[in-house]
Amino acid sequence: MSNTQRQMSAQSVCQAVNSIQVPRRLVTSAWGGTETTVIETSRALQAEGHPTRVFTSLAMSDQISECIGDIEVRRFPYVYPFLGLSREELCEMDRKGGNLVSLALLRALLREPGVNLLHAHSGKRLGGIVRTAARLRGIPYVVTLHGNVFDVPDEEKTDLVKPIRGKLEWGRPLGLMLGSRRVLDDAAAVICVGRSEYEAARDALPGQRVEFLPNGVNSQHFAKGDGSRFRARMAIPESAKVVLCVSRIDPQKNQLSLVESMPALLAAAPDAHLVLVGPVTRPAYLARVRSQIEALNLVSRVHVIEGLAPDDPSLVEAYHAADVFCLPSMHEPFGIVILEAWAAGLPVVASRVGGIPSFVADGDDGLLVPPGDVHALAQSLKAVLRNFGLGASLGDSGRRRACREFDWSVIADRVLALYRDILRRHR
């Protein structure tokens, strides 16, 4: 092959990244950071002329195919290879952390024409499916860790395996066949969205290519919204001070501490309201939250919205109805909702935990508090609500960073550069 032919061949590889994104599940009714990352990255790649689609399981959905955010999503039958699972346990695994297997998905990955790269957003058996398909096709694959491997507290791990504790697992041979334990070792690259997991992955995977690639935000989408309309819908007075939390309703996200901080907050800001928005991944936890709301006589001051679709205008309106955004998580790989709050110009109060301190500068574009410290949380919220200048300064700094560093166009360019380098090395 001549030098000219080699250059043309290399250019064609660089210009044609044809990928499939493979998350564990993807439904609008249970939207979170992983779903946002998959769809928004896909949209940005596709806008630059690189075909991208999503293959996933039918978990929490009965639609075999649909279009979400202009991205084709195909779903396939799956099973959890354990005996004796109840319907509620199956639903619990669908909602969070279930280690599923889908041979139909494997067949589809093998048959899809023109693909030159696979991108898994989960390890274990699903990652093994992606690994197997890539090896059989002779193409590279990458894996993104969304904070679910090296940076998971023991309490969270216990919660994840609770549905299968004591159950007989018949899927071990499948895991061995798919090489589930080799998913991270054999990947062309391992991507971490959180700095703490990135550092842990580098230590755990010597010799492997590990990349830190944070989540992003559609800064223009969140820049404008009708906050007054949201307040009217929720019967919140225009003069009220609103604290907003957008996150899965789950012990990990620790909305309970926000509810428990409200009495102290009301003492300083008598017109304060708390709005909790997010899909419910632990119904028993939501029951605890509601019980505490009633016990503290906060029914008229705490508003719970059990999830909003990513394209629902009410989501953006909620950010613009708020005076401060709070993410009080006990464990947080990244915290993509902080970027959404920044894009809307909101000051942020968040836990000093996981990946959050790696991108939130305490006192500059947010206030960080110890996780689980209700008193510190209330004090920081009061500081923002009572000091207009502080809130405005934090919100303005966050808005600038969201646009400059974290817009999806910036993040997608980094993803594309990684894909191209992997394809070049693979060739």
Res 4 pLDDT > 80: no
Encode pLDDT of 103-125 as tens digits: 999 999 999 999 999 999 999 99
pLDDT at 347 over 90: yes
Output the average pLDDT for the chain: 93
User: Is residue 166 pLDDT above 80, yes or no?
Assistant: yes
pLDDT score recorded for residue 340: 97
Tell me the pLDDT tens digit for each residue of 33-55: 899 999 999 999 999 999 999 99
Residue 196 CA neighbour count, 13 Å, CB half: 20
- Contact partners, residue 135, CB within 8 Å, separation at least 6: 186
Whether the pLDDT of residue 10 is over 50: the answer is no
**What confidence tens digit (pLDDT) does each residue in 218-270 have?**
999 999 999 999 999 999 999 999 999 999 999 999 999 999 999 999 999 99
Beta carbons of 218 and 40 less than 8 angstroms apart: yes
CB within 8 A of 404, min separation 6: which ones? 410
Write down the CATH superfamily of domain 219-405.
Glycogen Phosphorylase B; (3.40.50.2000)
Euclidean distance between CA atoms 320 and 317, whole angstroms = 5
pLDDT of residue 2: 46
Q: Where are the domain boundaries for CATH 3.40.50.2000 in the chain?
A: 3-216+408-426, 219-405
CATH code for residues 3-216+408-426:
3.40.50.2000
Q: What pLDDT is stored for residue 15 in this prediction?
A: 61
For the segment 12-30, the average pLDDT, to the nearest whole number, is: 85
The mean pLDDT value for 327-331 works out to 95
Cα 129 off chain centre by: 22
Lowest mean per-residue pLDDT among 302-311, 344-353, 367-376: 302-311
Q: Are 288 and 250 in contact (CB under 8 A)?
A: no
What pLDDT, on the 0 to 100 scale, is given for residue 389?
96
pTM for the model stands at 0.88
